[in-house]
Chain A
Amino acid sequence: QLQQSGPGLVKPSQTLSLTCAISGDSVSSNIAVWNWIRQSPSRGLEWLGRTYYRSKWYNDYAVSVKSRMTINPDTSTNKFSLHLNSVTPEDTAVYYCVYSGDWGWFDPWGQGTLVTVSS
């Protein structure tokens, strides 16, 4: 189970930050991949990035957000977070945290957070 938290309104040029709390698994699992995906009418479903542990931590980001995005795992709280800086109205979307195993498909999904970028 994944439970998201974070603000629903962010001002342009500021940083969008969301957190995903994991229950029933460990963020340090050697078979888990922890993802962020967003959905907007203009861009559809868009995978943004992932973090995973395979003897060490790895992160990987979509080209479209690579220069602005960071995903941080937190082993002490069993959470992972998304930070997207220098946001614009085009970053307005529903953001999801999502689990995928080594097998690859996305399931389960967090409940989603509508983030609006507006002054």
Chain B
Amino acid sequence: EIVMAQSPATLSVSPGERATLSCRASQSVGSNLAWYQQKPGQTPRLLIYAVSARATGIPARFSGSGSGTEFTLTINSLQSEDFAVYYCHQYNAWPRTFGQGTKLEIK
């Protein structure tokens, strides 16, 4: 099973600033990497797939990069609605696996 490790566990950033979230895979997942956002009491929401493609309706301030085993989600000009938990997910192999999440909180 591919293990996904996210860092940091918690990230404190001020509104208007940039947030950078990291995800590392225990083996290469190629470009088969997605990111989800989850707010309290809500379902995970697809943000990014194929490393850098934004899902429908996702603002341009969200961007993804990386390949192989190292990936980054960048959120520019943080808005109040962006403070949530973010998960990376590999779909290169079964079983599909997720990172443990990064909580993005207001500084």
Contacts and interface: CB of A to CB of B under 8 A. Distances in A.
A83 to B, nearest CB: 19
B44 A45 contact: yes
6 smallest CB-CB distances across A and B, nearest first, come from: A104-B91, A45-B98, A107-B46, A105-B34, A105-B49, A109-B43
B100 A106 contact: no
Contacts of B96: 35, 47, 100, 104, 106
B89 to A, nearest CB: 7
Interface of A: 35, 44-47, 60, 62-63, 96, 100, 103-107, 109-112
Nearest to A61: B95
A50 B65 CA distance: 29
Interface of A (DSSP majority class): strand
Contacts of B89: 45, 105-106
Interface in B43-96: 43-44, 46, 49, 55, 87, 89, 91-92, 94-96
Given A109-B44, A112-B43, A44 B98 contact: yes
Given A45-B98, A47-B96, A111 B43 contact: yes
Interface of B (DSSP majority class): loop
Contacts of B100: 44
Contacts, number: 49
Q: Which residue of A35, A44, A46, A111 has the most chain B CB atoms within 10 A of its CB atom?
A: A44
13 contacts: A44-B100, A44-B101, A45-B87, A47-B95, A63-B95, A100-B91, A100-B96, A105-B34, A105-B89, A106-B91, A106-B96, A107-B55, A109-B43
A100 B91 CA distance: 10
A106 B43 contact: no
Contacts of B44: 45, 96, 106, 109
Contact of B43 (A63, A96, A103, A105): A96
Contacts of B20: none
Q: Which residue of A109, A111, A112 has the most chain B CB atoms within 10 A of its CB atom?
A: A109
Given A47-B97, A106-B46, 8 more contacts: A44-B99, A45-B87, A45-B89, A46-B98, A47-B95, A47-B98, A106-B44, A106-B96
